[in-house]
Amino acid sequence: MRGSAAQGGASRRGPAREPAARTYARALPVVPVRARGLTIEGADGRRYLDCVSGAGTLALGHNHPVVLEAIRRVLDSGAPLHVEDLTTPVEDAFVTELLRTLPPGLADRARVRFCGPTGTDPVATALALVRAATGRARVVTLADAHEAVLDDREPGQPLPAGLLLDPVRSEAGVLPAPDALVRRLGDRADGQAVPLVVDETDSGVGRTGAYWAFEHSGVTPDVLVLAKAIGGSLPLAAVVHRDDLGDPNRHGTPRAGSFRGNQLALAAGTATLAHVREHRLAEHAAALGGRMLARLRALAADSGCVGDVRGRGLMAGVELVAPEDSPDGPARPGAAAHLAAAVRRESLRRGLIVDVTGPHASVVRLLPPLIVTEEQMSVVLELFADAVRAVDRLWPGGSVPLRGQSISR
């Protein structure tokens, strides 16, 4: 805090300014006070269908009963809520359930290392591990990937320390990696003893229609990066790796943060992993997600401002394009981003919460929780289609909806 101004009062320098921390809510002006499953209730009493799911963190939606019960059991047990570098029954249960979800080729030789809960912590830990194990520094990513990526080296240049792949690049605009490409790169990495690191932060725990998205391609990673949904709505991150890759701490690499392995998050994560497995929610995501993508592609075919629909399972990206941005017309910088923002705004007016992502903020992202029903999905898609049609009606006139404006239905 920086004095009373940061707390909402007046300061000696003049009227208080709104804290910068509050500016994010302007994009989604909802004050949630209750939530359950797919539904959020705002302070104004209005209800919304949440298709953001905490950027994919809420695999079971808001306040699922199995998650709440798991948290209550830990709270009522008197066990410590946070310990560091000590194995507890809660942690052991989580590791047991996690290994149960992994293919035998990884689970039989796996070690699990917990990290700080931010998105970068498990990636940094994984990269430190492969660099220490190989003695090399360069890591190749999917952005570099092509069939010869591991062979295109200058004379004398060593092989990479690792190959880092995201099965679906969610924040980049929901871009699934082609299975054939992942297989080719996985085979090439295996043939040259380059560790394959797969980042399942956004795509894991059933979201893509398989329990882990790498299973679509048939590859088995050497290192698996996990976060978001594995914590069952609480912050948790981990790295699973082959036992012969060792432990980064033995090579003098940095520790992975103090806030790792929180007991409430481990309990919530165990309950979530088990519920997804036992209720076959990955299969549900595959079936319902296929219908969602088909409906969105049909919408795109009738829309002048939807350029592409892509995704996998219950993970969809709808890319907005302005006709003037085509090769046949003059470019209008930022027009697609304005359209995406308008679709999000019109969706919210209709009671649907969606996200905007991608490098140009032009992709509307839908991430419904895995417990969404067919009836709920039908409502979601109808509301979203109505929002897109509202934006589409305005666009032929060449007017991009401005921030804060609404479009009449």
At a CB cut-off of 8 Å and minimum separation 6, what does 42 contact? 30, 31, 32, 33, 48
Write down the pLDDT at residue 323.
Answer: 67
Chain segment 390-401, per-residue pLDDT in tens: 999 887 544 544
Tell which CATH architecture fits domain 65-278.
Answer: 3-Layer(aba) Sandwich (3.40)
Tokens of 245: 């890759």
Res 83: pLDDT: 82
Confidence tier at 249 by pLDDT (50, 70, 90): low
What is the pLDDT confidence band of residue 324, given thresholds at 50, 70 and 90? low
d(CA 286, CA 56): 16
Average pLDDT in the chain = 85
pLDDT at 337 (0 to 100)? 93
The answer, yes or no, to whether residue 12 has pLDDT greater than 90, is no
Taking the CA atoms of residue 172, residue 184, residue 205 and residue 235 in that order, the dihedral angle to the nearest 10 degrees is -50
Q: Over 60: is that where the pLDDT of 330 sits? A: no
d(CA 391, CA 157): 52
pLDDT in tens, 18-33: 444 444 455 678 888 8
**Is pLDDT at 405 greater than 70 in this prediction?**
no
- For residue 361, the 8-state DSSP code is S
CB distance 384 to 366 below 8 Å: yes
Angle between helices 263-278 and 281-301 in degrees, nearest 10: 80
Q: Which residue has the higher pLDDT, 7 or 79?
A: 79
Using an 8 Å Cβ cutoff, are 314 and 292 in contact? yes
| DSSP class of 41 | E
Q: Is the pLDDT of residue 93 over 50?
A: yes
Which is higher by pLDDT, 158 or 367? Answer: 367
Ranking 8-17, 193-202, 273-282 by mean pLDDT, the lowest is 8-17
Q: Specify the pLDDT at position 169.
A: 93
Sketch the domain layout of the chain as residue ranges. 22-51+281-397, 65-278
| β-bridge partners, 110 | 242
- Above 80 in pLDDT, residue 133? yes
Domain 22-51+281-397 bears CATH identifier 3.40.50.300: no
CA distance 60 to 331: 42
Task: Please give the pLDDT value at position 252.
Answer: 44
Q: What angle do CA 126, 360, 341 make, to 5 degrees?
A: 115
Output the pTM of the full model: 0.86
- Chain-centre distance for alpha carbon 247: 27
